[in-house]
Amino acid sequence: MKKYYADKTSLKLLQVIIMLMIICIIIGLKYLLYYFERRYSDYYLSTRFTVSEVIIWILIAALITGYVVFLFIILPMWYRSVSYAIGPDEIIISSGVIFRNTTYVKIASVQYTATVKCPLSAYTSFNFLLINAYGGRLALMFLSLSSLEEIDKKIQSYLRDRGGL
């Protein structure tokens, strides 16, 4: 039974993309504060700390805190916990940070697979394998391109040997 893991290059790319999104949101919140100060200048001159300033600074602090906790603690823990095992007669998906989740699927119940490759997938590792089986769908996420092709080839060869449905 061979095990596969999520590729870490996608983790680094996710961290950069979400950091850029957070920076854009913070700039938008600062612009909103600037807009309020220009629109209601009499209100902002009369008091030192206004309600809108406090709310926007709390939102900025919450975004930064959430970013640090999610992207530098929770997401790397998930990447370390996720694994995919392909055996001769079953597929096992195991993941979870706080609660551990393990899913077993018989290869005999697989109907078909679909691969999702994003642009520059060899460099970003945004490769997904969707496995449609009787009773549900499985997603193998953030695989390297070689792992994706290897897993898909194993399942497709089993489906060909089985003779279809």
For residue range 121-156, what is the model confidence (pLDDT) as tens digits? 888 889 999 999 988 899 999 999 999 999 999 999
In degrees to the nearest 10, what's the CA dihedral of 160, 4, 131, 128?
Answer: -120
pLDDT of 45 > 80? The answer is: no
Enclosing domain of residue 151: 83-162
Q: Which of 80, 113, 137 is the last residue of a domain?
A: 80
Q: What's the average model confidence in pLDDT over 75-81?
A: 93
* Among 80, 98, 121, residue at a domain's last position: 80
Which two structure tokens, joined as six digits, stand for 37?
């100060």
Q: How many domains does the chain have?
A: 2
3-state secondary structure of 79: helix
Lookup: tokens for 64: 């930064």
70 with 96, same domain?
A: no
Same domain? 100 vs 38: no
Q: Give the end of a domain, one of 80, 97, 127.
A: 80
Measured CA to CA in angstroms, residue 69 lies from 63, 74, 113 at distances of 10, 6, 34
Report the pLDDT averaged over residues 76-96: 92
For residue 100, what pLDDT is reported?
92
Same domain, 89 and 76: no
